[in-house]
Structure 1
Amino acid sequence: MGETLRQRMAARRVKDGDGRPLPKYRWWQQLSRSLFSLRIDEGGREVVYSVDVRHNGDASDGEVRARLYVDGHQQAVSKTPARFPVAGGVIEVATTSFGLRRIHYVTTGGREHQLAPDPRSGAGRRMRFHREHPAVSRAIGVVSVLFLLVGVVLLGLQLAETISEIPPIAERLGVFVSPVQLPLWLNIALGAGAAVASTERALRLRYHWMLDALGN
């Protein structure tokens, strides 16, 4: 299967790494750093691929980059979305404003496998919480979706009201007044809730073009 233009562009963004060792994951990096790994058998020898993403961007220029480490040493660097060639396929990495959107190993045959999060990371802790408390975890996921759905509805009403105030549209169709008028404090609270919901979904690598694109 031929590569798409987007895939070819992602491949061209990959630069050689400098060989430095993979930094240890720190407890205060729960939401600012993602660290995932993949183990592949290469001719009877297990090779560990690790992908490190700092969501606040690099200190030098603010760009969000993914870094590929092989057996603990940096092999390649790329701006996101990234596409790293590895044994038997590629590792694809995509980010949002709240974390990771995708981090998968895609084999040459087209099969996809999500990489495993570091158990000390936010994603790793969220995965462990889901295993230990599945019912509560699912409930949290439902609440996250509800917060984002409310945000979509409110944003749609606000956009409709703003667009209807454009003179040619107002003269032809009249001005639409949103039936939902919320106080400032509630708007702020709902916005904060939506941000938390987006972060929670990013920790589980959940993404929907309509829900999760609002904050990106």
Structure 2
Amino acid sequence: MEQVTPGDGHALARYRWWQQFSRSLFHLRLRIDAATFETWSVDVRIGGDEDGNVHAQLYRDGVNVARSALPAAFPVPGGVIEVAASAYGLKRCDYVTPDGARRQLVPDPASAEGRRAHLDRTRPGFSRALGTASVIVLIVALVVGVPQGIEQITTIPVVADTIGTFISPFQLPAWANISLVFVAIAASTERALRLRHNWLLDGSLFEGGE
């Protein structure tokens, strides 16, 4: 986990419709005592800063109190908020208590994650079908893409001289390979909207795993 630094006290910005795939915003309502609640919010700009570094901002009742590069672990009352990202969005935004219990934070209703959660609540059958389709697409991309990648590696002279060459059983035209890449990216993005991440399906082809 990265080092957490103090926030500067700025107010949490309203979520805008054009930030659907560039910003993730999650909330956690915590009971402090019998009469007091606090809302903790995690704001992540997925695109990163000018150097490409992705940071999470932590807010308490709309006021910035901490900042950290990802992966982050923010101390909050009764536990920590853990945040981690993939190439497609967040893969974890959980409230973790000392006994190891986890609770995922609630996505802001205006965010892409919030809209995906709304679809899951209102049309659960379609939501499940969409999630299943995403997994199938990523399995196909893995099965087809890995042998082709190995073939490309074994065309390098030094590799070919050492272990020989490998011919992939899948020989797709360029347009089909490009289409498969875009469809797989869309599938991983859909899974990221639900904070689903598997190192093999979502990470091996395009981001190098965990």
Match of 1:149 in 2: 139
Q: CA deviation at 1:171?
A: 5.7
Residue 68 of structure 2 is aligned to residue 78 of structure 1: yes
Q: Which residue of 2 is the match for residue 4 of structure 1?
A: none
2:48 to 57, 69, 93: 57
Confirm whether residue 158 of structure 1 aligns to residue 171 of structure 2: no
Matched residue type, 2:66: A
CA RMSD, Structure 1 to Structure 2 (Å):
1.6
Partner secondary structure for residue 110 of structure 2: coil
Amino acid at match of 2:43: D
TM-score (norm 1): 0.89
Identical columns (%): 52
Report the equivalent of 2:101. Answer: 111
Give the C-alpha shift of residue 108 in structure 1.
1.5
In structure 2, distance between residues paired with 1:50 and 1:73: 9
AA aligned to 2:21 is: L
- Could you tell me how far apart the structure 2 residues matched to 1:30 and 1:209 are? 24
Distance 1:169 1:79, change over 3 A: closer
Post-superposition Cα deviations, 1:161-182, rounded to whole Å, max 9, x if no partner, equal 2344455764676432112111
SS at 2:143 equivalent: helix
Distance in 2 between the 1:173 and 1:72 partners? 58
Indicate the residue corresponding to 1:6 in structure 2.
none
Aligned to 1:183: 173
How has the CA–CA distance of structure 1 residues 161 and 47 changed in structure 2, closer, same or farther, with 3 Å as cutoff? same
How many residues align structurally? 205
Q: Structure 1's 47 and 184: CA in aligned 2 closer, same or farther, altered over 3 A?
A: same
* 1:38 matches 2:21: no
Match of 1:47 in 2: 38
- Contact map agreement 2:24 2:111 (CA 8 A) in 1: yes
State the partner residue of 2:16: 26
Match of 2:125 among 132, 135, 139: 135
Given the two structures, how large is their TM-score scaled by the length of structure 2?
0.92
Shift of 1:79: 0.4
Q: Contact 2:24–2:113 (CA<8 Å) still a contact in 1?
A: yes
3-state SS in 1 of match to 2:73: strand
Q: Letter of the aligned partner of 2:145 in structure 1?
A: L
Give the secondary structure class of the aligned counterpart of 2:200. coil
Structure 2 unaligned spans of 5+: none
Matched, 1:101 2:100: no
| Kept in 1: contact 2:15–2:110 (CA 8 A) | yes
Contiguous gaps of at least 5 residues in structure 1: 1-8
Distance 2:87 2:102 in 1: 24
Counterpart AA for 2:85: T
Question: Partners in 1 of 2:168 and 2:23 — Cα distance?
Answer: 39
Shift in Å, 1:154: 2.1
